[in-house]
Chains A and B, each alone.
Chain A
């Protein structure tokens, strides 16, 4: 097993059985972009400024090189709203920048032999990354162990759970009973003193997903 970042874990959970993420799954594309931002936030290289803007806070670590295009965009633009990140990487007829980012994260998983890369289709630059063996299972079991256990939850697990919940992916892996337990746990955490980071993260992801979704709707009009 490997230490995976949030965006790597999210990609494994967000793709179809054949490893594809099509433009029809816009909520998961947005979740992927939010996952990239949260991964950099957890690593301390970008930070929200309290005014719903994000800016670079430290150099991008080498192990997150696959997020370089997103980091560089934020670093060059200065404090930037998440919607601007969505515009840059998501909008456009071909979603070329999204594809490059997606392929870079996917290749990092292929390098770890956790996904098999397949060539893009005729009309897309986006490759498929089919999860290998128990790669998805290990991510989901880690979440289950942290969120269904009567014990403290790590920031990493809370962030992934919030992201999967907000982008609709949680229904794929957790029963309605488990989903209810997970939401109750996240809510309880967010209301506790120790869980302020969870509350901040929940609001951050909710804002991010709704802002990015608004951009998507406008784009599709």
Chain B
């Protein structure tokens, strides 16, 4: 087990965990998990049962895009179509 990484460290990391993405974005865990399961937030996972890793910059940008589209009243299926699923 290890200590939590500080915000300064994760703010510069190339890859982050979903917990770190929660801390960086301020978005709820359940929301990020839902985006992940819907294929809107791409991640990497070396093997099954290993931690999912998200590319920090791309993920934060994607979260901002999704939130902006939600604020415009777009539905999740519409957003998936617009953003091309997990292709980002």
Binding site for B on A (CB under 8 A): 1-3, 42, 134, 137-138, 141-142, 144-146, 148-158, 189, 194-195, 197-198
Is there an interface contact between B1 and A144, defined as CB atoms closer than 8 Å?
A: no
CB pair A154–B4 under 8 Å, yes or no, is yes
Count contacts on B: residues with CB < 8 A to the other chain: 24
Q: Are A195 and B1 in contact (CB under 8 A)?
A: yes
23 contacts between A and B (CB under 8 A): A2-B7, A3-B6, A3-B8, A138-B22, A141-B22, A142-B22, A144-B22, A144-B28, A144-B29, A144-B30, A145-B18, A148-B29, A149-B17, A149-B19, A152-B2, A153-B1, A155-B2, A155-B3, A156-B4, A157-B4, A157-B19, A158-B1, A198-B1
Measuring CB to CB, which residues of chain B are less than 8 angstroms from any residue of chain A? 1-4, 6-8, 17-19, 21-24, 26, 28-30, 32-33, 49-52
Q: Is the beta-carbon distance between B19 and A142 smaller than 8 angstroms?
A: yes
A3 engages B7 (CB within 8 Å): yes
Interface centre among A138, A145, A156, A158 (most CB of B within 10 A): A145
A1-B26, A134-B26, A141-B29 in contact; A194/B19 too (CB < 8 A)? Answer: no
Q: Which residue of B lies closest to A197 (CB)?
A: B1
Q: Which of A145, A197, A198 contacts B19 (CB 8 A)?
A: A145
A2-B8 Cα distance, complex, nearest whole Å: 10
Cα distance, A134 to B27, chains bound together (Å): 10
Q: Do B3 and A156 have beta carbons less than 8 Å apart?
A: yes
Instruction: Compute how far the CA of A157 lies from the CA of B18 in the bound complex, rounded to whole angstroms.
Output: 14
From residue B29, how far is it (CB to closest CB) to chain A in Å?
Answer: 4
Do A150 and B22 contact each other (CB < 8 Å), given the known contacts A144-B30, A158-B1, A198-B1?
no
